[in-house]
Structure 1
Amino acid sequence: MQETAPMSLMTDSDIHLFKEGKHFRLYEKLGSRVVSVDGVKGVLFAVWAPNAKSVSVIGDFNGWNGNKNPLFPRWDSSGIFEGFIPHIGQGALYKYRIVSRERGAVLEKSDPFAFLSEAPPKTASVVTDLSYEWDEEEWEEERRQRNALAAPMSIYEMHLGSFRKNPEEGGRSLTYREMADFLPGYINEMGFTHVQFMPVMEHPFEGSWGYQTVGYFAPTSRFGTPQDFMFLIETLHRSGIGVILDWVPSHFPSDEHGLYRFDGTHLFEHEDPRLGFHPDWKSHIFNYGRHEVRSFLISSALFWLDKYHVDGIRVDAVASMLYLDYSRKEGEWIPNLYGGRENLDAIRMIKDLNEAIYLYYPYAQTIAEESTAWPMVSRPTYLGGLGFGMKWNMGWMHDTLCYFKLDPVHRRYHHNELLFSMIYAYTENFMLPLSHDEVVHGKGSLLAKMPGDDWQKFANLRLLFGYMYTHPGKKLLFMGSEIASFSEWNHSQSLDWHLLQYDRHVGIKRWLMDLNRVYKEEKALFELDFSHEGFEWIDIADSNSSVISFYRKGKNEADSLIAVLNFTPIPRTNYRIGVKEKGYYQEILNSDSTYYGGSDCGNFGGVEAKPIHVHGKEWSISLSLPPLSLILLKRQ
């Protein structure tokens, strides 16, 4: 529906909020918008370019001629140029031709607020609207409960372009709508609660996996239109699956059509490379101290929650935002006004971001990828925290993978690597990530990291997943983990789906399906994830056997589970652990079942407790521990 509109959508109040860094709905005011002015249909354009000498719109409707459709600066020195072009509409291709006051440079820039761009390598913006009739009432009613900290959350991390290719059409990636036909059923079959998409925002370089973002308000047109992406999200929601998006406010690339030197000056980024350039990624750092840039970034984050109905965002590379000396040597960075290395402007922006999201979308989750010991990342801002809902536990990931890479004969000397995470487990609301970062750049696949022969590799992988699902914290697994790929992830190729013709790979898939099923059924595995009351060691000291055992507990004591993990290939019989109560303890999961590719060593369904004092408890159970295994028990 076209709108009747004035020649400007920006009010004095909008300008005030924009300049204060507090306008979080800029996408409703800037960019291109189909309207009707005095009965004439056309497009209203508005762009922020305060150091421009002149701005015009060029496009397929005027032969890309910069002299035909000038925009006009607002009277209020906001730096915003506006104008109405009649008789054009949906689908028009355009860019902004900016003549800078800085040496008269002439630039052709895509619209930072475009809702759609041409498919790469083309770079023009496309006039489009975001009209869509959403049909997901059931999810809207349930999402607060489904996304709560006390709910089960197992996330399937995905790269849309390489998940599944169409071999009949040159190996192209699936479209958003084709993905909607397949993905919800697959996620439900596997038992994951949420999907997390690696950045879908428009990006010119496919090899960046979306992390070199240019279009902060546009899903990539590689796979379809905005409405196609909305349809995918809606279909996932109607299947009971939450959607989380990767969002990248930490840097942006140097592509000429993008944000870099947008009006001929360092508008979005710092001018000084010690503040404005990432040495690792060869990309540019936002100037978080500039109020208008904060409005831009927070508007982008809220946009995906507002217009695409996503359930949360995972904020990439938070550590690089927090520290001025991130990946820099002495002399390559500038201290803050107090002489410290903390980026005070970034901290302010992050807090504003989280406060805004939880104010307007209290059902949502914001998740930080933060790899340092910065305190209170996932604590509210009113307590002095950064305000995120959760934080990736990078320490757990690092220690766990280092431990699992070891030959089991050496694991007894590294027992503390399994125990250390429990020392700080409740300092944050942690998510346990085995993400794409662990299977790229020569690191090998998860299966390839495991030691031993093929049987032991698969057993170790099942044990890794079992340890992850019984350890406190929400879960995230990268796509392909469930089929036990031999090779590391390649963004230009489909996942190795052909491996599912082999029993051992099917066994890994079955194991993860059952882990997800039990995880969602058993409150002890998720209800008190972020409280010490949800965990209790039984035995942490058996380093010689490389065995650990512990309770996971819910709010109701009757929901308690016992996890026993054997990190060696040696079966252990008559292995006794103390338990709190007499009774029969049913073996509800055993990673060594032949159904998963194991050797079928176990406890014949369960064991009866005996009045034998062990581990400070009056009762105990005698177990057969399979090699390289997790067994999970519940008192009946």
Structure 2
Amino acid sequence: MMNVIPHSLFTDFDIDLFKAGNHYRLYEKLGAHIIEKDGVKGCYFAVWAPTAKSVSVIGDFNYWQKEEHPLFVRWDESGIWEGFIPNITHGTRYKYKIVSNNQDIQTEKADPFAFYSEKSPNTASIVWDASYKWKDTKWMETRKEINSLDKPFSVYEVHMGSWRRKLEDAGRSLNYLELAEELVSYVKEMHFTHVEFMPVMEFPYDPSWGYQITGYYAPTSRFGEPEELMVLIDKLHQAGIGVILDWVPSHFPDDAHGLGFFDGSHLYEHPDRKKGYHPDWKSLIFNYGRNEVRAFLISNAIFWLDKYHIDGLRVDAVASMLYLDYSREEGEWDPNIYGGRENLEAISFIKEMNEAVYANFEGIQTIAEESTSFSMVSKPVYLGGLGFGMKWMMGWMHDTLEYFKKGPVHRKHHQNDLTFSMTYAFSENFMLPLSHDEVVHGKSSIFGRMPGDEWQRFANLRLLYGYMYTHPGANLMFMGNEFAQSDEWNFQTSLDWHLLQYEGHKGIKTFIADLNRLYKEEPALHEKQFSNEGFEWINYGDADNSVLSYVRKGHYIENDLVVICNFTPVVREDYRIGIPRDGTLKQVFNSDEKKYYGSDVRNKEEISVEAIPYNGKDFSVAITLSPLAVIVFKII
């Protein structure tokens, strides 16, 4: 029998930091770590379980018997149990057998800090000593410039399990290494700047899409080993593509092997059900006021940025964290100490998390999925904000999709659906999302919302995307949107790649690749994308013709772009718009080109600006508006 030998990786300073909630690299101490003690290799285990009566390590090595390897509780009232077990090796399966002081209830728990787990539906943790030699030095050294807020963010949102499947192999999902070849090549071809992965952390239930996490420190074993995920991220970096991970600190499932009721008490979840249970997702909510829980979560954010070279975290369901009454009826929530509805503990946690990650890593960004009017979400903490780098612009998404569902004949009555976003566009650093949430649950695909005959539906989709990319802000597009996926997204099947045999779908794909290139190459579309200095209306009031025109600006006036959107299928000859200065208009983009499946209505390559005042400008020009199209000119 292998004995458990007293041993610790914790210093007194570590314990003080842990108790205070300020230890941000707990993954270096808690969990399972292969070490050598007195010339013997083995594994050091450490787990936080302050109200447990006893904690044992069980696994294949002791036939899952709790009596064999009991851990020692620390003397300092930290609640940490620890010990060294000789001869435990890389790849060993294990769990913690916890006997609680509460009626001696016994549970078998996965390690909250496990670096790897069994493939679902199995739930054991796996001792894992990841070793990988990164090859992305150039990316990491230049990331600060590439990933700054005045650079392009064109994000391709991906669900790994359904992006592409091997039909010849029982329709299985691609693994990390296959994605490292096929996805990286595709994203580079499409000129997206970033990939955002829906949660890659271990989760038990496929229909949750990864948003019900049980293994916060373990990449899901569905697609391979931890080092293989590192290969995927490394390959993306080598191709010049940033990586954003969805991160879920808002809630977690109550699966028996998970964090819920971990040591027989409400350890990770808030003990008050009004604060500790989420009615929408039937899941548990972290206790943001508990120091050790805050340290667990902030350490987790740091972990992915540190060990996996992640460039950003998109934080899920922030609104549910900010408000005590989120999705609750009267009587189901209690106000804070000031009588308000804000969750002060969660707000404090969010600020601390953002300060910690930005202080520890250059060139990263955090992005909030936040759907309310909570102020200063993407403003620095030192100015009173929450400290995120960006926030999803949910209002723009809702209003724009509602507008595009309407037939062109009705659009003149709804011009405000398009112009309203500009009244608040610079109150936050907004990312415009057409995400997975917009193509499920009976909403139809984005393409499926477009009205009209076949040609008009494709034209409307190109117009929507062109308007999106020329609107101030960064951009996010869910996989399949970029080639006009017809059906709603189904996490159990592959995207409908066969559609690319058809001219319309192929045209959309070509269009998105060119639109991404335009966004990256034209400074006016990204240098001031979060500043009102980067946008100027030409005419927002031509509702009768359903036309919008505006100027996008960069740091230098010679890079300014003039954008005109025609939201009807009517070709408009000699349509006059004001121009801010004299010169010549050169068309740099038109969504109606033949290669995009458009009608190829064109202007001359260059059009002279006239000294005729119009739209409040000293100069103007008469152009031809292509049908259901966005046209972009540069003043030269």
With normalisation by structure 1, the TM-score equals 0.98
Which secondary structure state, in structure 2, belongs to the residue aligned with residue 91 of structure 1?
A: coil
- Contact 2:195 2:243 (C-alpha < 8 Å) held by counterparts: yes
CA contact (8 A) 1:243 1:310 kept: yes
Matches within 5 A, 1:540-619: 540-619=540-619
How far apart are the structure 1 equivalents of 2:422 and 2:606?
28
Q: Which residue of 2 aligns with 1:220?
A: 220
Give 1:327's aligned residue. 327
Q: Distance in 1 between matches of 2:130 and 2:317?
A: 29
User: What is the letter of the counterpart of residue 54 of structure 1?
Assistant: S
Q: How far 1:580 moved relative to its partner?
A: 2.2
- Cα distance in structure 2, aligned partners of 1:606 and 1:468: 25
Q: Deviations over 1:414-463 (max 9, x none)?
A: 11111111111111111111100100111110000111111111111000
Distance 1:81 1:280 in 2: 35
Higher mean C-alpha deviation, range 211-220 or range 615-624: 615-624
CA displacement at 1:184 relative to structure 2: 1.5
Aligned counterpart, 1:297: 297
Distance in 2 of aligned mates of 1:359 and 1:230: 23
1:444 is aligned to: 444
Structure 1: any 5+ residue segments left out of the alignment?
none
CA separation in 2, counterparts of 1:618 and 1:331? 60
Deviating 4+ runs (over 3 angstroms):
none
d(CA) in 2 for partners of 1:348, 1:616: 47
Root mean square deviation of aligned Cα: 1.0
Which residue is equivalent to 1:507? 507
What amino acid sits opposite 2:270 in the alignment? H
Alignment CA distance shift 1:544-1:428 (3 Å): same
Q: How does 1:214-613 map to 2 (within 5 A)?
A: 214-613=214-613
1:26-58 deviations in Å (ceiling 9; x for gaps): 000000011111111111100000110000010
Return the letter of the residue paired with 2:428.
E
What residue in structure 1 maps to residue 111 of structure 2? 111
CA contact (8 A) 1:98 1:107 kept: yes
Given residue 449 of structure 2, which amino acid in structure 1 is its aligned partner?
Answer: K
Once residues 362 and 35 of structure 1 are traced to their aligned partners in structure 2, the CA distance between those partners, rounded to angstroms, is 31
Aligned residues of 1:606 and 1:633 also touching (Cα < 8 A): no
What corresponds to 1:124 in structure 2?
A: 124
Partner of 1:149: 149
Q: TM-score, normalised by structure 2?
A: 0.98
Partner of 2:175: 175
Q: Aligned partners of 2:13, 2:335: CA distance in 1, in Å?
A: 35
Partner of 1:49: 49
Deviation at 1:618, TM superposition (A): 2.7
Kindly indicate whether residue 603 of structure 2 is the aligned counterpart of residue 626 of structure 1: no
Distance 1:140 1:65 in 2: 46
Q: Which amino acid aligns with 1:478?
A: F
Per-residue CA deviation, residues 592-617 of structure 1 (Å, 9 max, x unaligned), is: 11110011112132322222221122
Letter in 2 for 1:113: F
> What are structure 2's unaligned runs of at least 5 residues?
none
Question: 2: CA distance between counterparts of 1:313 and 1:549?
Answer: 34
State how far apart, in whole Å, the 1-side matches of 2:352 and 2:612 are: 57
Q: Secondary structure at the match of 1:366?
A: strand
Identity %: 62
Contact conserved, 1:314 with 1:366, CA < 8 A, in 2? yes
Contact kept, 8 Å, 1:7 with 1:83, in 2: the verdict is yes
- Counterpart of 2:63 in structure 1 is 63
Equivalent pair of 2:157/2:197 in contact (CA under 8 Å): yes
Aligned residues between the structures: 632
Alpha-carbon deviation of 1:6?
8.0
Structure 1 residues 82-93: aligned runs within 5 Å: 82-93=82-93
1:135 aligned partner: 135
2:191 aligned with 1:200, yes or no? no
Q: Distance in 2 between matches of 1:178 and 1:357?
A: 30
Cα distance, 1:338 vs. partner? 1.4
Give the partner amino acid of 1:600: D
Q: C-alpha distance in 1, partners of 2:71/2:381? A: 41
8 Å CA contact retained: 1:6, 1:37 = no
**2:559, 2:431 → 1: CA distance?**
22
**CA offsets, 1:152-202, max 9 Å, x none?**
110000000100101121111111011101112111110000000000000
Amino acid at match of 1:410: H
